[in-house]
Structure 1
Amino acid sequence: MAAQFDLDALPYVDKQIDEPGMRTQVDKLIAAELKRMPKPRDPSALFPDIDLFKDRALLQQELERVRKGKPMEPTLDLSRYQLEPPSTSTPDNDNNTNTPLTASEELPEGKILWLKALGNADAQLEQQNQRILNLELIQKFGANAWNVHNYQLEYDLTNLRKVVDDKKGEVLELNKQRKRDQLEVAESLQRLEAKWAEMISATLQVEVASASLESELEQLKAYEAKLVKELGIPLESADSTTSMAS
């Protein structure tokens, strides 16, 4: 259970802070009180450690690779994004040279190469068409979309500023109410403080008078004992004689 602190402060009534050396003493007391108060929790402790992709080893390996900044293995094959004509020669493994294709050799293998190049060209053409279409869509609708997005951001900003202004107004009104409440009870507090001072003074006077009477009583007792000793009358007899005389 969190510790509760009773903060007693009347800044609009108490003027002792203006006395020399009082502000330094107050700062020391505040620092000592802050040391006693529980420290705020570390924000990172509010969120437990999360093991991402614990059931997917492949994704864990990829996450670890990205975390360490290592390049992707194997690297992406970028040849599919290049538009090159098919090769018209075949490598000669014996002599490490490129041998031009003959007419008879070109028919089966050359056709496959040209078909692959044609498929790659079709893919590149479709990709360019998609890019052109996206650019046209952005040119047609992008400005309005950004305007709507900016309007939403401005609307959110206006709402946040309104919330901040409302909170500042509440804080200001609270401080005004505190000042009014303290000034209203200031006269009563001053009257009670004056009465307390009078009672303390009266109590001190009673204590001084009591001490004076006790001292006088001790002196009388000493004087009585001296008389009894000089007259030779026992103390009990002196008391009885005094009682009969009275």
Structure 2
Amino acid sequence: MAAAQTLIQAELPPDHSTMHPSLPTARAPRFSDLIEAEHTRLSSSGAAKEPNTGIDLSRYAPPEPPSPTASNETWTTALQQASTSAEYLSTRSVNLSLLESYGRNAWLVGNSQLENELKGLEMEVESLKLEQESVEQARRAVQRNAEGELNGLEEGWRGGVGRMIEVLAAGERVKGEILERRRRGAT
């Protein structure tokens, strides 16, 4: 081991900060504007003293309860949000404990299972969308097919109403003529 270390030390240049001559020169990094702005913020004098410059802990805090005089809808919404948050934190805690207990592979397997479940749900949603579209197309086809019949029935109804009005008008004319003849006969 000592002999190998001696050979390695002999190959290294005396100044360890210089790179080996056979290595290509390093490219200058090009960062996006967002990364540059973050570098500038971090290199400023007060950035190191900011206590909350990392993970946003507010997403792990329980939601604030509404006022006691709030409506039932407000309380129901707050309860649903708290339930969702609790479920999220519970699942996150389980995943982190799996990561701590069994290592990275168990955590990745859990994530893979969740991804598979998500893909299954997405496929189910897609199939339901296709089913809904086919039902919608069938409904429209039935409406288009019934449109002619409905138009015919409507025209028949309008014609019938029109004839009924004509009959009533003719009946009133006849009544008027009968009354006129009675008046003439009475005088």
Normalising by the residue count of structure 2, what TM-score does the alignment of the two structures yield? Answer: 0.46
Give 1 or 2 for the bigger CA radius of gyration.
1
Normalising by the residue count of structure 1, what TM-score does the alignment of the two structures yield? Answer: 0.35
Return the structure number with greater relative CO, CA threshold 8 A, min gap 6.
Answer: 1
